[in-house]
C-alpha cells in the first residue's frame, strides 16, 4: 500500500475551491499510520487563519498490478504558495 500526504490549499474556509499539492508519501504496511502521525504537527505549524482554509489529508493508493510500462502518478498542479 502507498499513502500520499496531500495538502489542500483552499481560497477560503468553505474549502470548495482548492489546489492539491503532494507533500510526502509512504509505502508499506504501516504507511497510513506514518502519514496520520505527521498530520497533527503539520496542521499545528500552520497559522490560525490558514488552519481554517487549508488541510492535510492522507490518501491511500492501492498497490494494484499494473503493466510494467505503466507508471501511475497522481495529478498535481505545480504552483508556488506562501503560507
- pLDDT by residue for the chain (83 residues), tens digit each? 899 999 999 998 888 889 999 999 999 999 999 999 999 999 999 999 999 999 999 999 876 644 445 455 555 544 445 55
Q: Flag whether 71 is in a domain.
A: no
Is residue 72 situated within a structural domain? no
Query: Across the beta sheet with 55-61, what order do the strands follow?
Result: 18-27, 2-10, 55-61
Lookup: cell for 47: 497559522
What region does 5 belong to: left with phi over 0, alpha with psi -120 to 50, or beta?
A: beta
Number of folded domains that form the chain: 1
d(CA 11, CA 33): 29
- Domain of residue 19: give its range: 2-61
Amino acid at each position: 500500500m502507498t499513502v500520499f500526504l496531500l495538502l489542500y490549499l483552499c481560497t477560503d474556509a468553505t474549502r470548495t475551491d482548492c489546489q492539491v499539492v503532494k507533500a510526502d508519501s509512504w509505502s508499506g504496511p504501516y504507511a497510513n499510520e506514518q502519514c496520520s502521525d505527521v498530520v497533527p504537527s503539520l496542521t499545528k505549524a500552520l497559522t490560525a487563519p490558514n488552519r481554517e482554509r487549508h488541510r492535510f489529508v492522507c490518501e491511500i493508493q492501492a498497490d494494484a498490478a499494473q503493466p510494467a510500462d505503466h507508471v501511475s502518478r497522481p495529478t498535481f498542479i505545480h504552483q508556488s504558495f506562501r503560507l
